[in-house]
Structures are given as structure tokens and as C-alpha cells.
Structure 1
Amino acid sequence: MTHVTSAIIVGGGIGGAATALSLARQGIKVMLLEKAHEIGEIGAGIQLGPNAFSALDSLGVGDVARQRAVFTDHITMMDAVNAEEVVCIETGQAFRDHFGGPYAVIHRVDIHATVWEAVLTHPGVEYRTSTHIVDIRQTPDDVTVFDEQGNSWTADILVGCDGVKSVVRQSLLGDAPRVTGHVVYRAVIDCDDMPDDLRINAPVLWAGPHCHLVHYPLRGGQQYNLVVTFHSRQQEEWGVKDGSKEEVLSYFAGI
């Protein structure tokens, strides 16, 4: 195949939406297929470095992303055992001049919406929800995907953006996700619930033995993103479930 004119994208998250927009802006006809009943994003915050903003600019959505992001003053790592600062990197104008862009944090819902709004206005993208792909067949010239209802779509190329339990990856490579033992708890809280001395306009990482905690502001400082990561005692299969306060606190018992 020497010239691509059509593409199928499986998955409508941030990666799928960005891929759809990028391909459509190059004149490629895109069909995006999403398993969920509606296109959207869940989760908490995400950090965006200068390269991320360069990518957003290339998609034509950089200005909107900047309007929704929180620009940080610095990035700080703290020792969770003795509460001493390990390192602090300023992310002001000197940082922006050196790296060619800002450092910022943003809610995942907001960055997804920024890209998806542009997708919706582009005539080169079609999409379907409630579409669970179960089979993929390739020929030397094209690729066809089938959903559980027996519907099919054919295009020049297929891009899998369907997450850690990717059907596309499983079909192409046959390997299943592997348990790493790392568990991440995430939460978004209102600013009023954040201790005054931790209301810092920066991503702050507290590094401890076999665990760390990260917090930073979102949505103009009205909310804070909290992320706790540790080596779980449970070598369980990957999944998403409600967290246990007692389990989280137990990993910080020695700090």
C-alpha cells in the first residue's frame, strides 16, 4: 500500500480522538469505533509538558487546551519520610523559553473535550458508539473489523487505541496484560478539602519506600488531583474498582 485514504480507529479516548483528528487533518477519511455508549473521559488529572503542547498545537487545539490548563510554578519532589525537599524545578518563563513551551496540569475530562470538540467539527471523521469489536481480518490491501452484532467496516489501516485490554493488540500480538504489582489510587477533591499548606500551584511528589503520592491543582485551583501509587501485596488481575482507605493508609504506616 503506497497511499492511505481511509482509517479505522478503535477507541475514543484521548489517544483515539487525537489520532482521528490528526489523520483527518491530513485528508484521511476516519471511522472511529467506541465500545462505550457515549464518547467521554473519566479519571483525574494529567500533566502536560512542552512536547504535549507542541502536539496539541499541531492538532489545532493548543489555544483551547491552554485556556483549560493550570500553569504551574514549579515541579517538586519531597522525601515522604522526613518531609525535606529533594529537588525543585522552576517551570516559569525561563523553562518555557528553554523548552519551547509550558508545563501545565489539566483534568483528563477537559483535555479529552478539547480534542473531541475539534473532532466533532471535522467532516473527515465519522464515529459510532456501543460498538464492541470482536474480530479483525487483514489482507495485503486492507483491514476489516467486525463487532459483536456482525457489522463490519473496512479501511486501508487500523489503529488500536482501545486501552490496556486492547482487542486490537490481542488480535495482532496475542499477549495479555501482565500484572506489575503496582496499584494506583486516584481522587479529585475540592480545594476546601485540601490542607492549606498543601495548596501549592505545582505538581508535588512525595516519595517514600515502595510508594509515592502526587498532588496538584486542577480547574483554576478549584480542585486538587491526588494520586497514590504503591506496590500492592495483592498480585491480582488488572482492573478498576473502588479503593479502600484502610489499604492506602496501611502502606503509609511507617511514614
Structure 2
Amino acid sequence: MHKIEMMYKNDMPAARALPLVDQAFLRLRQDVLSGTYGAGAKLKLDELQTAYGFSSSPLREALSRLAQEGLIRADERRGFRVADISAEDLADISRMRLMLDIPALRESIANGDDAWEALVVGAFHRLEKVEGRLSDGPVVLDDNWTQVHTAFHAALIAACPSERMRSWSASLFDQAERYRRYSARFRKTARRKSAEHRKIMEATLRRDAKTACALLEEHILSTQRNVTAVLGTPAGRAGRS
């Protein structure tokens, strides 16, 4: 999660002190990730100005930044639309996550110190506490859970020395988040993940890179399988139209 996004979520007065471009970017980004704007939705500048109260200049820059992250697309008429949702796109996101996250976790385990271990433990504790307080509905639709879930995965690779790997991993994680939230709306049973996260954390803290990386790989692939299954249902297909 980007630092300015953490500020936006946790310290609203400080967030309002950010440049208008950052404010516009964060608000639009949150609404795209949460599904306020569905897949393929046209993002009209005049409507966005009315909805958010920003002028066209910061909104255009925010839209360009979201396009760079892959969350929206520039169409042939120089406008913007929310990126489509498809099993093929999710497979590509998952493939890239495996290419980045697995090596990043391995390097994080090799380089992490006591402070990093404490960061991982603390992130898991917050995630488990939030999940334990939730009802039987899909946890992914809870904004607090989403925040601590993102923080836990970021903590796992926080000791990776490559800033680019951490940054690109965060971007791909957010692209996958849109799919998790989309599929949760059509899921018939809740999927609790604390057991999976605990196993990943424990292997990581044991410095058992082989096991931790295998568990993380399965964690990413199981998410892909679950979302793909939803996308193949009549309800899931209807939600994309």
C-alpha cells in the first residue's frame, strides 16, 4: 500500500493537506478498487468533477496515473474506462504476482531482521483480530479487513531490498484486489483466510523459505481459482455486462 494511501485511510486531515492530484488519485483509486465504478464503466470528466469537487486538471492526472497502474484504460476517443474483468486478465495478474512475490519473499526472509519479524507478527495479529470480529459475510468486502490484509502481504516482503519489486508487487496486489471484491459479491460461502496467513507467517518466521514460498504460491493460485470459478457462473458473467 502506498504511503499516501495509508495517510488517506488513517489521517483524513493530513490527507486533505496533500496536493489535489494525490487527493483525486486516492479517491478515484479507492472507488475503482471497491467496485463503485464497475468493469468497463466510462469515467466522464464532467461527472467526476461533480462527484469529487476537483477541477479537470488534477482529475486528468489522477486518471493517467490509474491507467499506468492498469486499473483503468484509455479508450480510442481519449477517454477513460475502468479496466475490464476477465479470467485471462486475472491469470496474467496472478502469473506476474508469482514472478515477483515469490522471489521477493525469499529475499525478504534472507535479509529480514528482528524489526522485520516484529512487523510481520504485528501485521498478522491485526489481520486476525479484524477477521475475528467480522460476521459470516465475505471478509473481502470489509474495508478494515482489506486494509490489514494488504498490510500483512506488504509486511512479508518488506525486507526485500528491491524497492521496484515491492512497488510492482503492491500494484499487482491492488489489481487482484478488484477481482477479490468483485467475486465476493457472488460468492455463496465465506472464505476465511486466517489459517492460510498463519501458516505463511510461521514458515516465514522460521526462515523456511522453501515452505513459505510454496504456501504463498498456493495462496495466490487458490485466489485465482476461486475468482475464476465465480467468473464462470451465470451471476458472475451477468455482473460483467
Classify the TM-score, shorter chain: under 0.3
Please identify the structure whose Cα radius of gyration is greater. Answer: 1
TM-score by length of 2: 0.28
Higher strand share: 1
TM-score by length of 1: 0.27
